[in-house]
């Protein structure tokens, strides 16, 4: 039975991943900051900090594969004096340290959950593919790109297999950020100024991402590859709001507003990044993982939105 170590096991994706691995009869170890009731206590390893000094020796004993989710995540307003160095400490040095210790411990494969931000922030024409030149635009994306390079170097030096997965926005039960804010505003019936927006964005439901990560951890053809993943159905911001509203029983009230005015409002409120994500397009081509690993998302976009809306209704009465 394959022993898999999941770092960031208590996070949004980590909890869903561990649950699915258990369901499929994998032996699972979760690395997390504090004990969680969702995991058997003997399968939990407390890792308080992720940096170049973290000792992974106990957690890696007998492990065949690692799925590395733990990271310093992207935040909208970063108050750090030097955000890039803060991201590098965790996402680059911490990842490189884990990778080297994993290789020394005899781990066969490490799956690294990176980000579409390595490709860039917005697509003007077509979709991002794995062949595009990397173009990270912020400290978080830069740190993810540098971590990818560090892992490729370790793979070359040691023979440990590395697989890179770059998801776009992940949604589902437990989602945070812009997505839960949309759910909140829909549930409260606020009018939203996105009627005229004509964009396209790729998303991935957490259940689909989990399935893709398990394929990347187990499929022989995944070794050494980088994959962009998505639900496979891109959607505009107004259509997303309409479909979420319908699933919540709270129809979206949309009205038109000039894009320039929305961008100005974002600038004046310090929310330019959030506003741009609602206005701009970001599309990915997930054809490579579908062809090479014969991967098909187990859930449609509609099923993912329905499950997310149901979770929100049940947890935010």
- Judge if 120 and 249 occupy the same domain: no
Do both 194 and 287 map to the same domain?
no
Q: How far apart are the first and last CA of the chain?
A: 42
Q: Are 247 and 305 in contact, with CB atoms under 8 Å apart?
A: yes
Residue 267: its H or E element:
helix 259-268
How far, in Å, CA of 158 to CA of 154, rounded? Answer: 6
The highest-confidence range among 2-11, 48-57, 112-121, 134-143, by mean pLDDT, is 112-121
In sign, the C-alpha dihedral spanning 214, 217, 219, 221 is positive
- CA dihedral for 72, 76, 78, 79, sign (positive or negative): negative
What is the model's pLDDT at position 43?
A: 81
**211 in a domain, yes or no?**
yes
Angle (nearest 5°) at CA 7 between 9 and 208: 65
- Average pLDDT (142-158) is 97
Q: 148 and 240 share a domain?
A: no
Per-residue pLDDT at 74 exceeds 70: no
119 shares its domain with 250: no
Q: pLDDT tens for residues 305-316?
A: 999 999 999 998
Number of domains observed in the structure of the chain: 2
CA diameter of the chain: 58
- Pair (78, 223) in one structural domain: yes
Q: How confident is the model at residue 203 (pLDDT cuts 50, 70, 90)?
A: very high
User: Between β-strands 65-68 and 109-113, what pairing exists: parallel, antiparallel or unpaired?
Assistant: parallel
pLDDT of residue 76: 46
The residues near 184 (Cβ < 8 Å, ≥ 6 apart) are 316
pLDDT for residue 79 is more than 60: no
Report yes or no: 209 and 170 within 8 Å, Cβ to Cβ.
yes
User: Which residues span the domain enclosing 214?
Assistant: 3-173+203-233+282-299
The residues carrying an active-site annotation are: 140
Whether 160 is covered by a domain: the verdict is yes
Proportion of the chain above pLDDT 70, given as a percent: 95
Residue 17 and residue 41 in one domain: yes
Residue 120 lies in a domain: yes
181 and 193 together in one domain: yes
Q: Are residues 161 and 287 in the same domain?
A: yes
pLDDT digits (tens, 9 = 90+) for 17-32: 999 999 999 999 999 8
Tell which wins on pLDDT, 93 or 34.
93
> What is the reported pLDDT for 236?
96
Q: In Å, how far are 8, 109, 128 from 285, measured between CA atoms?
A: 27, 24, 6
Mean pLDDT of 143-148: 96
Beta strands in 95-237 (DSSP E): 109-113, 161-166, 169-171, 191-192, 203-205, 226-228
Q: DSSP letter at 274?
A: H
Distance CA 171, CA 203 (A): 7
> SS3 of 14, please?
helix
Shared domain for 222 and 255, answered yes or no, is no
How far apart, in whole angstroms, are the C-alpha atoms of residue 121 and residue 137?
A: 7
Two structure tokens written together for 55:
């000792």
310 part of a folded domain:
no
Domain co-membership, 69 together with 190:
no
Q: Which two tokens stand for residue 127?
A: 């979709």
List the CATH number of the domain containing 46.
Answer: 3.40.50.720
């Amino acid at each position: 039975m394959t022993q898999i170590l999941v770092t960031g096991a208590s996070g949004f994706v980590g909890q869903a991943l561990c649950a699915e691995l258990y369901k499929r009869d994998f032996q699972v170890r979760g690395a997390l900051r504090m004990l969680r009731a969702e995991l058997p206590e003997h399968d939990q390893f407390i890792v308080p900090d992720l940096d170049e000094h973290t000792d992974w020796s106990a957690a890696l004993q007998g492990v065949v594969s690692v799925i590395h989710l733990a990271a310093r995540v992207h935040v909208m307003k970063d108050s750090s004096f030097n955000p890039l160095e803060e991201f590098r400490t965790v996402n680059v040095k911490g990842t490189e340290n884990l990778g080297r210790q994993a290789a020394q411990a005899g781990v066969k494969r490490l799956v690294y959950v990176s980000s579409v931000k390595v490709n860039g922030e917005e697509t003007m024409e077509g979709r991002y593919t794995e062949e595009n030149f990397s173009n990270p635009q912020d400290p978080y994306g830069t740190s993810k790109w540098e971590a990818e390079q560090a892992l490729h170097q370790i793979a070359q030096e040691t023979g440990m297999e590395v697989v890179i997965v770059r998801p776009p926005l992940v949604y589902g039960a437990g989602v945070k950020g812009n997505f839960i804010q949309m759910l909140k505003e829909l549930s409260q019936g606020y009018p939203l100024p996105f009627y005229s927006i004509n964009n396209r964005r790729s998303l991935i439901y957490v259940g689909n991402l989990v399935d893709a990560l398990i394929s990347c951890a187990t499929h022989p053809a995944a070794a050494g590859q980088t994959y962009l993943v998505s639900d496979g159905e891109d959607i505009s911001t107004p259509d997303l709001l309409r479909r979420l509203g319908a699933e919540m029983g709270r129809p979206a009230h949309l009205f038109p507003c000039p894009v320039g005015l929305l961008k100005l409002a974002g600038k004046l409120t310090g929310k330019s990044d959030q506003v741009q994500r609602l206005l701009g397009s970001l599309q990915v081509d997930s054809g490579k993982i579908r062809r090479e690993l014969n991967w098909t998302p187990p859930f449609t976009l509609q099923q993912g939105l329905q499950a997310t809306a149901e979770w929100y209704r049940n947890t935010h009465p």
